[in-house]
């Protein structure tokens, strides 16, 4: 069996792999879809939306054209709806670890969960990198990750009727405290400061529950783990009053936020500049032909890390991908308003007659 046949049996064959499902990665699906190109999207987070969902879902955004006000979550919901017609493959909770150019101008792409893609082009929409939880860093902690120490709740059922200690003072820590207090045997929230970064309503509710004796709250810092018989039995917390208290537990939930790491993107042979990828401004192509970069991850003269800028970059990158896949082929710029072809791709009715499309379509783009 030839090598390429063997490869194509294992891998999903696609026009483009998009690394990152933030707002720009999502809109990239749309721009590729209009040009008739299919995409597979991969993100290390368990949900789409990138920074918008991970860092500020309920905060208002005022500078998206024609949307005077929406929350970050609403923006992602609208983007998800807009790209639905293109039916892109979505692969969450896994990092793209390898991107290897091939002699036939295509790419072998591999994820941390072993998924493989045979892609005509790769578009890196990796934002500030893949988000990783801030870890405990205490002796012995690593061995118990996923069993008694958790950085995200995968299965809330396993926490029912258990003694829980929750670390953190942001939205995730407070949201989970309020949700789990109903299910757990006991909940102790440990935060190093008296002030919380979480939504005021959540903080008020937590303080109210504490007054009622439904949960405990310690202002202090975790010093060490109590490990007995190969199990984490508790934590030692140095409280604000200078006293070290030992709190017993079945599960320790750590919500100290996420920090971005450029991660494997740094190893793909792309020209980098201070943790960003250099691109041209005609196609947003990187130093490797066929690999493009859009959104917060790229760098060019005058770059502004705005969602608006990323949307523009995604439009031009789509034409760049098309040119990479079919060099020299003429591509007409068409309007969604009047092009029956684009309307068919969008799955909408009311397509204008062909002649109207032809008269209004402007010749442009590459070719
Ligand atoms: P991101 O949103 O960062 O998404 C990138 C995704 O790529 C992430 O989900 C990450 O997990 C994934 N990823 C990275 N590497 C890999 C890998 N190897 N494998 C798999 N997945 C990977 N902008 C505005 O225009 N207006 C505003 O009002 C505004 N307000 C903001 C408020 C706050 C608090 C913050 C933090 C930012 C704000 N921004 C605003 C900036 C805006 O959120 C970013 O410009 C935007 O999110 C960039 O989108 P992106 O898709 O490029 O990257």
Domain boundaries, the chain: 3-131+259-331, 136-256
Give CA–CA dist 187/78, Å, rounded. 37
Residue nearest to atom 30 of ligand 1 (CA): 61
CA 199, chain centre distance (Å): 22
Which helix (H) or strand (E) segment holds residue 287: the answer is none
349: pLDDT strictly greater than 80: no
350: pLDDT strictly greater than 70: no
Q: How far is the CA of 20 from the centre of ligand 1 (A)?
A: 9
pLDDT for 120: 98
pLDDT digits (tens, 9 = 90+) for 14-23: 999 999 999 9
The rounded mean pLDDT for the chain is: 91
Residue nearest to atom 48 of ligand 1 (CA): 296
Mean pLDDT of 49-71: 93
Q: Is 12 exposed, middle or buried (0-12, 13-18, 19+ CB in 10 A)?
A: middle
Which helix (H) or strand (E) segment holds residue 294: the answer is none
Give CA–CA dist 319/123, Å, rounded. 12
367: pLDDT strictly greater than 50: no
Q: What is the DSSP string of 237-253?
A: EEETTS-EEEEE-SEEE
Percent of the chain with pLDDT over 70: 93
Q: Which of 265, 273, 276, 270 is nearest to 298 (CA)?
A: 276
130: pLDDT strictly greater than 80: no
pLDDT for 307: 98
Q: For residue 20, give the ligand 1 atom closest to its CA.
A: 7
Give CA–CA dist 243/231, Å, rounded. 25
Provide the pLDDT confidence category of residue 358 given band limits of 50, 70 and 90. Answer: very low
Provide the pLDDT confidence category of residue 129 given band limits of 50, 70 and 90. Answer: confident
Which of 24, 307, 310, 311 has the most ligand 1 atoms within 8 A of CB, as the residue to mutate?
307
Q: How far is the CA of 52 from the centre of ligand 1 (A)?
A: 6
Give CA–CA dist 315/324, Å, rounded. 15
Question: What dotted CATH number matches 136-256?
Answer: 3.50.50.60
CB-CB contact of 117 with 12 (8 Å): yes
Q: Is 146 helix (H, G, I), strand (E, B) or coil?
A: coil
pLDDT digits (tens, 9 = 90+) for 136-195: 999 999 999 989 999 988 788 999 999 999 999 998 899 999 999 999 999 999 999 999
Provide the pLDDT confidence category of residue 91 given band limits of 50, 70 and 90. Answer: very high
Mean pLDDT of 85-108: 96
Mean pLDDT of 228-251: 96
Give CA–CA dist 130/117, Å, rounded. 19
Provide the pLDDT confidence category of residue 361 given band limits of 50, 70 and 90. Answer: very low
pLDDT for 363: 35
63 versus 133: the higher-pLDDT residue is: 63
Give CA–CA dist 258/153, Å, rounded. 14
352: pLDDT strictly greater than 60: no
Residue 286 is given by DSSP the state: -
Residue 194 is given by DSSP the state: S
Give CA–CA dist 294/280, Å, rounded. 11
Residue nearest to atom 3 of ligand 1 (CA): 127
Q: For residue 54, give the ligand 1 atom closest to its CA.
A: 9
pLDDT for 9: 54
For domain 3-131+259-331, is the CATH number 3.50.50.60?
A: yes
Which of 31, 127, 197 has the most ligand 1 atoms within 8 A of CB, as the residue to mutate?
127
CA 331, chain centre distance (Å): 31
Q: How far is the CA of 132 from the centre of ligand 1 (A)?
A: 14
Q: Tell me if domain 3-131+259-331 and domain 136-256 are identical in fold.
A: yes
Which of 25, 46, 50, 62 has the most ligand 1 atoms within 8 A of CB, as the residue to mutate?
50
Q: Is 184 exposed, middle or buried (0-12, 13-18, 19+ CB in 10 A)?
A: buried
pTM score: 0.76
pLDDT for 364: 37
Q: What is the DSSP string of 16-63?
A: EEEE--SHHHHHHHHHHHHTT--EEEEESSSSS-HHHHHH-TTSEE--
Please report where in the chains the tokens 């200078």 appear, as a residue.
242
pLDDT for 24: 98
């Amino acid at each position: 069996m030839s090598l390429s046949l063997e490869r194509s049996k294992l891998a999903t064959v696609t026009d483009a792999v998009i690394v990152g499902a933030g707002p720009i990665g999502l809109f990239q699906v749309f721009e590729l879809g209009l040009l008739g190109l299919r995409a597979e999207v991969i993100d290390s987070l368990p949900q789409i939306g990138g920074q918008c969902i991970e860092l500020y879902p309920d905060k208002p955004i005022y500078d998206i054209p024609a949307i005077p006000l929406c929350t970050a979550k609403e923006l992602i919901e609208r983007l998800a709806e807009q790209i639905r017609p293109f039916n892109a493959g979505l692969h969450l909770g896994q990092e793209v670890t390898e991107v290897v150019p091939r002699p036939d101008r295509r790419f072998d792409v591999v994820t941390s969960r072993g998924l493989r893609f045979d892609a005509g082009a790769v578009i890196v929409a990796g934002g500030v990198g893949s988000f990783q939880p801030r870890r405990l860093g205490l002796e012995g902690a690593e061995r118990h990750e996923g069993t008694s120490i958790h950085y995200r709740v995968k299965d809330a059922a396993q926490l029912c009727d258990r003694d829980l200690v929750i670390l953190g003072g942001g939205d995730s820590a407070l949201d989970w405290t309020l949700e789990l207090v109903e299910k757990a045997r006991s909940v102790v929230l440990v935060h190093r400061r008296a002030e919380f970064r979480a939504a005021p309503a959540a903080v008020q509710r937590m303080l109210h529950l504490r007054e009622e004796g439904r949960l405990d709250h310690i202002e202090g810092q975790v010093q060490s783990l109590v490990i007995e018989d190969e199990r984490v039995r508790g934590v030692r917390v140095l409280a604000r009053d200078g006293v070290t208290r030992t709190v017993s537990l079945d599960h320790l939930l750590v919500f100290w936020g996420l920090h971005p790491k450029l991660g494997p993107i740094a190893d793909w042979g792309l020209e980098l500049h201070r943790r960003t990828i250099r691109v041209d401004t005609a196609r947003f192509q990187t130093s490797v032909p066929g690999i493009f970069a859009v959104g917060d991850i790229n760098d060019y003269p005058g770059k502004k890390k705005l969602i608006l800028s990323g949307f523009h970059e995604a439009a031009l990158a789509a034409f760049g991908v098309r040119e990479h896949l079919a060099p020299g082929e003429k591509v007409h710029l068409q309007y969604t308003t009047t092009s029956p072809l684009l309307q068919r791709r969008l799955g909408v009715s009311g397509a204008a007659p062909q002649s109207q499309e032809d008269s209004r379509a402007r010749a442009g783009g590459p070719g």
